[in-house]
C-alpha cells in the first residue's frame, strides 16, 4: 500500500516556496462528500498555512469525480490568473466496472489537461477499495491527501512561475 508508513499531511515548511502571491482553484466533487469535504479542508488549510490569502483560493463544485475534468478545464480557461488547480474527488470501488471507467477517465482527463494546458492540475482523487480506506486518507490514520495535493500545487505553481522567467 503506497500510504503505509507515510502520513499524507506531513511536510517540511522550509522546503515549500513562498505562496503568498499565488492563486489556486479547487474543483471539488460532491459525490462522497463526507470524503471530499475532508480533502478540501486539508488542501485549504495547507494553502493558508503556507501564506496563500483566502481570497486567492476559489472553489467550484461539480456533481461527481467524472465531472472534475470539465470543471478543471473551465477553471483553466475562465481564470487564466490561477497558478494551479486542484481536482478533489473520491471514487470507491463497488460491484460493477463503473469504478474502473471513472478512475481511468478522470486520471487520463487530468493528465490531458496537464499536457495541453499551461496551468497545472493536481490529482487529488482517491480511488479506494472501500469507505474505510477513503476515510483513512482524507484526514484519518494516513493523514490527508488534500494536504499533500496543496503542497504539490504550491510547488507546481512555483515551477510554472520559474519557467516563465
pLDDT for 120: 97
Residue 152 lies in a domain: yes
Average of per-residue pLDDT across 7-23: 91
Note whether 87 and 123 are within 8 A (CB): yes
Residue 77 belongs to domain spanning? 21-164
- Considering the candidates 20, 98, 111, 141, report the single residue annotated as catalytic: 98
Judge whether residue 114 has pLDDT over 80: yes
Residue 98 is among the residues annotated as catalytic for this protein: yes
Tell me the C-alpha to C-alpha distance, in Å, between residue 126 and each of 10, 99, 145. 18, 11, 8
Average of per-residue pLDDT across 57-61: 98
Residue 42 lies in a domain: yes
* Side-chain-facing half-sphere of 8: CA atoms under 13 Å: 28
* 1 vs 100 pLDDT, higher one: 100
pLDDT for 6: 77
Residue 49 lies in a domain: yes
Provide the pLDDT confidence category of residue 4 given band limits of 50, 70 and 90.
low
Express as a percent the part of the chain with pLDDT over 70. Answer: 96
Residue 37 lies in a domain: yes
Provide the pLDDT confidence category of residue 79 given band limits of 50, 70 and 90.
low
Average of per-residue pLDDT across 114-137: 96
Q: How far apart are CA 103 and CA 91, in angstroms?
A: 7
Measured torsion, CA atoms of residues 54, 60, 66, 72, in degrees rounded to the nearest 10: -70
CATH assignment of the domain containing 54? 3.40.50.960
Residue 1 lies in a domain: no
Residue 12 lies in a domain: no
Judge whether residue 139 has pLDDT over 90: yes
Residue 50 lies in a domain: yes
Residues 6+ apart with CB under 8 A from 42: 9, 138, 139, 143, 144, 145, 146, 147, 149, 150
Amino acid at each position: 500500500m503506497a500510504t503505509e508508513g507515510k502520513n499524507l499531511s506531513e511536510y517540511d515548511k522550509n522546503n515549500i516556496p513562498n505562496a503568498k502571491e499565488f492563486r489556486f482553484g479547487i474543483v471539488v466533487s460532491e459525490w462522497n462528500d463526507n470524503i471530499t469535504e475532508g480533502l478540501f479542508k486539508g488542501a485549504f488549510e495547507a494553502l493558508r498555512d503556507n501564506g496563500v490569502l483566502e481570497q486567492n483560493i476559489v472553489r467550484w463544485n461539480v456533481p461527481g469525480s467524472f465531472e472534475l475534468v470539465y470543471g478543471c478545464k473551465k477553471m483553466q480557461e475562465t481564470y487564466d490568473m490561477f497558478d494551479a488547480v486542484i481536482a478533489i474527488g473520491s471514487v470507491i470501488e463497488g460491484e460493477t466496472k463503473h469504478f474502473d471507467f471513472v478512475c481511468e477517465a478522470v486520471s487520463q482527463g487530468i493528465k490531458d489537461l496537464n499536457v495541453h494546458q499551461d496551468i497545472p492540475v493536481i490529482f487529488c482523487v482517491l480511488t479506494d477499495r472501500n469507505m474505510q480506506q477513503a476515510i483513512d486518507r482524507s484526514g484519518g490514520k494516513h493523514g490527508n491527501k488534500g494536504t499533500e495535493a496543496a503542497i504539490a500545487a504550491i510547488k507546481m505553481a512555483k515551477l510554472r512561475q520559474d519557467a516563465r522567467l
